[in-house]
Chains A and B, each alone.
Chain A
Amino acid sequence: MSEYVTIQINDKPIVAKKGDNLLKVARENGFEIPGLCYHPRLSPTGACRLCVVKIAGVQGLVMSCTVQVTDGMNVIAFDEELERNRRHTLAYLLAEHNEEYDATYVDEFKPLIEKYQLLNTKERPIQSFWQNIPRVIDDTSPVLTYDSSKCIRCFRCIKACEELQGKGVLSFADRGIQKYIVAGLANWGDSECDGCGECIQLCPTGAIVEKPNREVIDVNKIQRKVITSCPYCGVGCQIEVWVQDNKIVRINGVEDVSPNYGRLCVKGRFGYQYANHKERLTQPLVRKNGKLVPTTWEEALTIVAQKFAEIKQKYGNKALAGYSSAKCSNEDNYIFQKFIRIAFGNNNVDYCTRLCHASTVAAMIRSLGDGAGSNSIEDFETTDCLIVIGNNIIETHPVTATFIKRGKQKGQKIIVIDPKWTPLVKYADIFLQPRLATDVALLNGMMYVIIKNDLINKSFIEQRIEGGWETFKQLEKVVMKYTPDIVEKITGVPEKLFSEAAIMYATAPTAMIATGMGMSQQTVGTNNVFALLNMCLITGQIGRERCGVNPPRGQNNVQGATDVGASPIMYPGYIPVTNEEIRKKVADIWQVPFEQLDPNPGLTTLEIMDAAHERKVKAMYIMGENPVVTDPNQLHTIEALQNLEFLIVQDIFMTETAAYAHVVLPATSLFEKDGTVVNSDRRVLRLRKAIVSDKNIWPDWKIIVEIANRMSINIGNYNNEEEIWNEIRQVAPIMSGISYERIDKQGIQWPCWHEQHPGTSTLYTEKFNTLTGKAKIYPVEYQEQSEKPSVEFPLVMNSGRILYQYHSATMTRKSEVLNTFANESYVLIHPEDAQKYNISNHAKVKVVSPRGELTTKAIISDEVLPGEVFMPWHFHEAPVNALTRNEKDPISKIAPFKYSVVRIELV
């Protein structure tokens, strides 16, 4: 409970939280004290001197932004002297300021100039002299321009970069009146700036202005500003979309709303060009005489309905399958899985989560009972110790990473475990760099250290783990084989380092783990996560606030798609398809005969592709996925798609996969959608239509319903997305309490059982979600890979993502800004290997695996270990998945994207 104090401002009594900022309190209570350097998200600076007030008992004028309220404080915010003082200060600031204005930004100066009657330059007490101050313009950044003549040296940008984003790229150069803002060595474009634009959003006077759309935007002509959720990763940032002439012209972070509190990354702020791109699909296409040609919706839908019905009749239920989409809304995904289950009569619905966190979810459901992150994104800032394992979090979840960097500033301990150097290493206390696919050995080794040092949490083990001490003893038997020398030999990590890390984690008052694709995308992916959970459980670093395990999700709605049932094994709300009672309940809500719902689990993503390859699955419905680029073993995928009798692809662009389709249907992008998504910390967030799509482009759910109607199958008729959501709430109890109205401003985290329930910020604080309410330990052994380096393929390739591109890059490569930052494939190779294979930096090389080959550029870097190479997989012209294999993790069916043997040859 916070303590409250009473203060007086101009004789008005005000109750405020003790320690709150005086300027903030005053403004919240209707006292519009001017100020340019203060921003509620930043620490106070006291640079502009406009917010002066008088405080009884304090000599002179005080800058209110630097004062914390205390009980009985008596403040005068407005009187003649203060206003005269402010007018004079403002005139001083103006004298140093270039007042040219082009209406491409919101200028906080303007209203003050009017208010203090300084419009007439002749009547100003100080005449303009900015022309005599050396003017510095830095136009080298792809996203912004800095002009010192408009800069009031207020510190906001520097603090935005340092305090909010944790990057510290900006600084003042020079001194006195000539000082100006620099990034890098006075060259923004060549600095560490990654283009997040936080400084642009916070600049009060147009000194830092946005570059994209500068020729177009006019702040007086903005039609609407719409708040929706970012279309990229799973952080779920809330964005304010500015629309002019039905085009997106700017995106800002929404101030003071979770989970991002105004912060964005470069993709979220600048990656919107795809929505208005000329290559958008604007009409349905059907294949005639081998070519895709434009057609009407009526013809396209009729063909689809007929073909589905025909194939179902000819080959039976099992011959049809669908890929749902982590890029589509909950409502779209719910309707999609409902369509598959009712119209196809099977459970063959899956999506990219199978290639992403399937192993994490599999392990977490078995061990903890839920397949979602246990904490809130904000907890990344406040936990005492954080392990980030197999997750390049700064590049893949940039805004979650801002919380970590802020935590670091407050003394958080950070342990990074990754075979490849990632930017978070700069912030880390300990960096462990194990060889690829040796995670189980490393984690077992860390548990060895924890047990040897008696750092286990005995009461937690006894009270909250199934089988208690007995189970622990079984685990102990396994991990005690992983003595430090053995672990050091397998992983290459020095004993000293992993011992320190183990002790740091086990002894921290609170500790969290973020796990990523590096752990999950292996043939031993599920075991990796079991090992991680075991370490977490024996130390009791879960089941409390700011403790737990979190898999930050890669796509905006990868969490939601599974939550609402895009899964071959689960109905909406994580209820197994095999559960007869639930099927009865669902059949009732869906108004279909109970017997019509298939009681058997369906095929997973890669199993569907395998079945297509074997011609067992004859027809596929792909919504918003691009498996030709994203599935492993590209040749196999292409052959599978070619073997299909009928393929429909529903997308916003003509993708590499759509090229193999018989029918292509144009769907709305996220910016044209209403609905909801669920982010990484289980927060249900709203999507709102910002731009109006071409009338020939339909919402995904509507297309699905229209297909069902033409098959004479009733999957429900809905007037809008809210009706669909309310049905989801009926089917999935975890969502029951979440209505559109309740999440109008702030999202709510599931489980939320009824409309008065506040949602759940931390999972497992009372019990685990297993049948017994206790967590389970699954001891696992290190297994060697079936694929091993050889004379022919001596290197091991790891794959991953980079900040500036996103997945198969269908969306991001439509953005000039993002392409300016990075638009070229490469392979990272260690200097030793480069020397060994005679490869020079930037040489054109061929990367060959047993499955295929590609051509790319070599970059020599010690970010990777000797014997290992790394490639980003965004670039279709150098398709990394031509090299990967479709061997599967036996439990979760995930593919080993992180481990393929290759050789590198000069071209």
Chain B
Amino acid sequence: MQNNKNDENNFEILNQFRPERTEILKALHSLQNANPQHYISSDAMKAVAKYFNITLGQVYGIVTYYSMFSTKPRGKYIIRLCKSPVCYMKGSFNLKNYLEEHLQLTASTENISADGLFTIETTECLGHCEQAPAMMVNNTIYSNLTREKIDEILHALKTNNYEL
């Protein structure tokens, strides 16, 4: 019953929402966005269950249904590479291999690069087919991707002088 610091932060976020079911998704987004590792922790899910008076299973069901939510910590930068047909035809598969090799990281929500900076995920169409292949890093879209362009982006992200 005793609240710890994390719990206090979670409830501070939750208190911005009315405790009604229609607010759950918005609240989950806020919790995930507030987490530096871009995920919804067990504590956060427990807080959601308590705040909205629903069960843990129901929260878990919602979180795992949507691919934008994660129950596992992710890198500071989440690279979401488009795997839809147009990007695929324009070589996104090769770019995925390149990214994986470059960052020594298999594309999966559960993996983080050793420096804690990156997670690679694949995603459905980002709506930038005319500039395929495309990817999204956190909230920014990059298109007309080539290996060189990826090198550039990664370098910028690593040296932390890139505005996201």
Interface SS of A by simple majority: loop
Shortest A175–chain B CB gap in Å is 5
B56 touches A185 (CB 8 A): yes
Residues of A within 8 A of B2 (CB): 831, 841, 860
State the CA gap A184–B56 with chains docked (Å): 4
Q: Would you list 22 pairs from A and B whose C-beta atoms are within 8 A, ordered by A residue?
A: A168-B57, A169-B55, A171-B57, A171-B60, A171-B61, A172-B65, A173-B57, A173-B64, A173-B65, A174-B65, A175-B64, A182-B61, A182-B64, A184-B56, A184-B60, A185-B56, A186-B60, A191-B55, A192-B55, A831-B2, A860-B1, A862-B1
Q: Is B14 an interface residue (CB 8 A)?
A: no
Which residue in chain B gives the minimum CB-CB distance to A184?
Answer: B56
Shortest A517–chain B CB gap in Å is 24
Which residue in chain A gives the minimum CB-CB distance to B41?
Answer: A185
Residues of B within 8 A of A170 (CB): 57
**B residues whose Cβ falls under 8 Å from a Cβ of A:** 1-2, 42, 45-46, 53-61, 64-65, 71
Residues of A within 8 A of B54 (CB): 168
Q: Please tell me which one of the listed residues A175, A185, A861, A862 contacts residue B45 in the complex, with CB atoms under 8 A apart.
A: A185
> Which residues 848-864 in A have Cβ within 8 Å of B in the complex?
860-863
Residues of A within 8 A of B42 (CB): 185
Q: Is A167 an interface residue (CB 8 A)?
A: yes
Residues of B within 8 A of A860 (CB): 1-2
> Which residues 191-213 in A have Cβ within 8 Å of B in the complex?
191-192
Which residue in chain B gives the minimum CB-CB distance to A174?
Answer: B64
Q: Please tell me which one of the listed residues A172, A191, A192, A861 contacts residue B1 in the complex, with CB atoms under 8 A apart.
A: A861
Which residue in chain A gives the minimum CB-CB distance to B58?
Answer: A171
B60 touches A185 (CB 8 A): yes
- A841-B2, A862-B1 in contact; A173/B60 too (CB < 8 A)? yes
B60 touches A182 (CB 8 A): yes
State the CA gap A174–B1 with chains docked (Å): 30
Which residue in chain A gives the minimum CB-CB distance to B49?
Answer: A192
Residues of A within 8 A of B71 (CB): 185
Which residue in chain A gives the minimum CB-CB distance to B61?
Answer: A171
Residues of A within 8 A of B46 (CB): 185
Q: Please tell me which one of the listed residues B1, B45, B53, B60 contacts residue A831 in the complex, with CB atoms under 8 A apart.
A: B1
A183 touches B65 (CB 8 A): no
Q: Is A452 an interface residue (CB 8 A)?
A: no
Shortest A170–chain B CB gap in Å is 6
Residues of A within 8 A of B61 (CB): 171-173, 182
A191 touches B65 (CB 8 A): no
Seed contacts A171-B60, A192-B56, A860-B1; 7 additional CB < 8 Å A-B pairs: A169-B57, A173-B64, A183-B57, A184-B56, A185-B42, A191-B57, A426-B53
Residues of A within 8 A of B55 (CB): 167-169, 171, 184, 191-192
State the CA gap A174–B42 with chains docked (Å): 16
State the CA gap A863–B61 with chains docked (Å): 28
Residues of B within 8 A of A174 (CB): 64-65
Which residue in chain A gives the minimum CB-CB distance to B63?
Answer: A173
Which residue in chain B gives the minimum CB-CB distance to A171?
Answer: B61
State the CA gap A616–B1 with chains docked (Å): 51
Residues of B within 8 A of A426 (CB): 53
B65 touches A182 (CB 8 A): no
- A185-B45, A192-B55 in contact; A175/B60 too (CB < 8 A)? no
Which residue in chain B gives the minimum CB-CB distance to A192?
Answer: B55
Residues of B within 8 A of A192 (CB): 55-57
Residues of A within 8 A of B64 (CB): 173-175, 182
Contact string against B for A residues 819-841, beta-carbon threshold 8 Å, 1 for contact and 0 otherwise:
00000000000010000000001
State the CA gap A169–B55 with chains docked (Å): 6
Residues of B within 8 A of A171 (CB): 55, 57-58, 60-61
